[in-house]
Amino acid sequence: MPEMGLPHYAGTRERVTRFALIAGVTLVLAFLVAPLFIVVPLSFNNDPFFSFPIHTYSLRWFRDFFSNTRWIAALENSVVTAVFTTVIASTLGTMAALGLARPNFPCRRAVMALLISPMIVPIVIVAVGDYLLFGFFGLTNTRTGLVLAHTALAAPFVVITVSATLSTYDPVLTRAARSLGASPLAAFRRVTLPVILPGVVAGAVFAFATSFDEVVVALFMTSAEQRTLPVQMFSGIRDQINPTIMAAATLLLALSTALFVTVAWLSARARRVKT
């Protein structure tokens, strides 16, 4: 029997346990990953069914996606909303993280608890509250309203990611820049920002993904005109599931994989810089 990371003095029983652990963990990892990719082959199925085996493959559902104005409009709405959300959330979140990283920040625990609470509060409550208040200001069924609501949900991700990067940042660098005559803004732009940039970009990618994937607030806050891609998918699945949804799911899966690879690459780079 192989060593499986066990010390040489391990007994048979321990080896069996270790083997069971490896087998079990393999199954759980398969449970985690396999369901994600089930939609990929189905989106290339020429027949409008959602079951296996697949007889002929084609791109017809992707053609359908890209030629259907409703799906294209939803895609465009999602991208525009997510881009605006990312810009605002990254700016506000990075500023807050910079303040929180300073040793003299007052009531840090309470402020941090408040800043990350949008990740905790059930999304339906946020959606209903936003609908009530934004309706009062005439912001429901507008893209502005959706961007504002999404920014509140996305900002905590930026705060957390940038804070994690700042925890390894040496504040002496800023002080050195200041002592050499840099203004606070110049010290941030020329010294701090380049060092923490991977964290800021990772936070921005999180913010983009948060807005791009968000369904519930978008369901409450949008009419047909501002309908986003996830809302279009949600109503599609609920009413009459059709194969174009599989194509949309495959495209979203490709996008999230790309975002994930970006963040993984950034954090690997950040680790390299640190050591």
Partner 1 sequence: MTPDLPTRSQPAGLDRAVRKANRPASRASFSLAIPLLLFLLVTFVVPIVSLFAKAVDNPETRSVLPATVAALDAWPGAGAPDEAVFAAFARDLARAASGRTAAGLGKRLNYEIPGMRSRVITAARSAGVVQAPFKAAFIKLDPVWGDPIVWATIKRDGRRLTPSYLLAAADLRQTADGAIVPAPADQRIFLGILGRTLFIAGLVTVLTLVLGYPVAYALALAPPLLASVMMLCILLPLWTSLLVRTTAWVVLLQTNGVVNDVILALGLSSERLQLIFTRFGTVAAMTHIQLPFTILPIASVMRTIPAAHMRAARSLGAPPAAAFWQVYAPQTLPGVMAGGLITFILSLGYYITPALVGGPNDQMISNFISIYINSELNWGLASALGVVLLVVTLGIYGVFLRVVGADKLRLG
Residues 37-76 that bind partner 1 (CB under 8 A): 38-39, 42, 49-52
Q: 116 or 182, CB closer to partner 1?
A: 116
Residues 114-173 that bind partner 1 (CB under 8 A): 114-126, 128-134, 136, 148-149, 151-152, 155, 157, 159-161, 163-164
Find all residues with CB under 8 Å of 219, minimum gap 6, and list them.
127, 231, 234
Which one of 82, 154, 249, 270 is in contact with partner 1 (CB under 8 A)? 249
Residue 142 burial (CB count, 10 A):
17
Indicate the length of the chain as a whole number. 275
Question: H or E segment at 203?
Answer: helix 193-213
What CA–CA distance (Å, rounded) separates 64 from 72? 10
Closer to partner 1 by Cβ: residue 22 or 176: 22
Size of the site for partner 1 (CB under 8 A): 100
Which of 133, 157, 270 lies closest to 212, judged by CA? 157
Told to check if 24 binds partner 1 by CB under 8 A, we report yes
Helix, strand and coil in the chain, % to nearest 5: 75, 0, 20
Q: Which is nearer to partner 1, 87 or 111 (CB)?
A: 111
> Of 89-118, which residues contact partner 1 (CB under 8 A)?
92-93, 95-96, 98-100, 102, 104-106, 108-109, 111-118
**Between 195 and 221, CB nearer to partner 1:** 221
Q: Does 216 engage in binding with partner 1 (CB under 8 A)? A: yes
Distance CA 242, CA 236 (A): 7
CA distance 68 to 104: 55
In the complex, the smallest distance separating the C-beta of residue 268 from partner 1, rounded to whole angstroms, is 9
- Least separation in angstroms between residue 74's CB and partner 1 is 12
End-to-end CA distance of the chain: 38
CB of 116 to partner 1, least distance (A): 6
186 binds partner 1 (CB under 8 A): no
Q: What is the dihedral sign for C-alpha 90, 164, 33, 219? A: negative
Pick out residues in 224-243 that bind partner 1 (CB under 8 A).
Answer: 230, 233-234, 237-238, 241
Strand (E) positions, the chain? none
Binding status of residue 215 toward partner 1 by CB under 8 A: yes
Residue 180 sits in the site that holds partner 1 (CB under 8 A): no
